[in-house]
Amino acid sequence: MVLLAVLLFFVGFGFAVVPPIVEQAQAFANELPRYVSQLQGNERILSFDERFGLLDRAETLVAITGLVPLIGATIGAIVVTTVAMFTSLQAGIICVVFYLVYQQVENYVLYPKIMQRSVNVSPAATVVAVLVGGSLLGALLAIPMAAGVQLVLDEVVAPRQDAA
């Protein structure tokens, strides 16, 4: 009964949240060409682009975002989903679903296993460190901090408790 209630909650939440998001994303996709044309006509943007090559840099950066742990894939997913929304609403929704599933698998299956092997932190501690430490310290520091805490516990606290 509890499982059914939880599933019904998430289904209801999905029906309450997804349609407005899709509607707003579609409205944004419809208005984006107008926004881009307004930016391209802006003298200040044009002067920055001529001086610093902003458009060329922006194109080389949609690939570099994949190198940023935990948020790079999200930034890439936003860009890909936005482009897909220009193609069709169905393609955009398929991209959103794909990236949601992909990120869950990456964050809760792959990332903990990789971190366990590289810093020898248990998968559960890795997930907790990313969830808690990611919001407090930043995702890049969460896993090394968890490894440091685990090292102190293993090398200092446990021997003192064994000696007592």
For residue range 20-30, what is the model confidence (pLDDT) as tens digits? 777 787 787 77
DSSP state of 42: -
Q: Please, what sign has the CA dihedral across residues 31, 33, 35, 38?
A: negative
CA distance readout (Å), 26 to 42, 46, 77, 117: 25, 28, 16, 42
pTM comes to 0.41
Q: Return the higher-pLDDT residue of 11 and 124.
A: 11
> Per residue in 44-93, pLDDT tens?
777 877 887 766 666 565 655 555 555 667 777 888 888 788 778 888 88
| Burial tier of 129 (Cβ tally within 10 Å: 0-12, 13-18, 19+) | buried
Q: What average pLDDT is seen over the chain?
A: 75
Helix-then-strand count for the chain, H and E: 10, 0
| Burial tier of 116 (Cβ tally within 10 Å: 0-12, 13-18, 19+) | middle
At 49 the three-state DSSP class reads: helix
Residue 140: band (very low, low, confident or very high) from pLDDT cuts 50, 70, 90: low
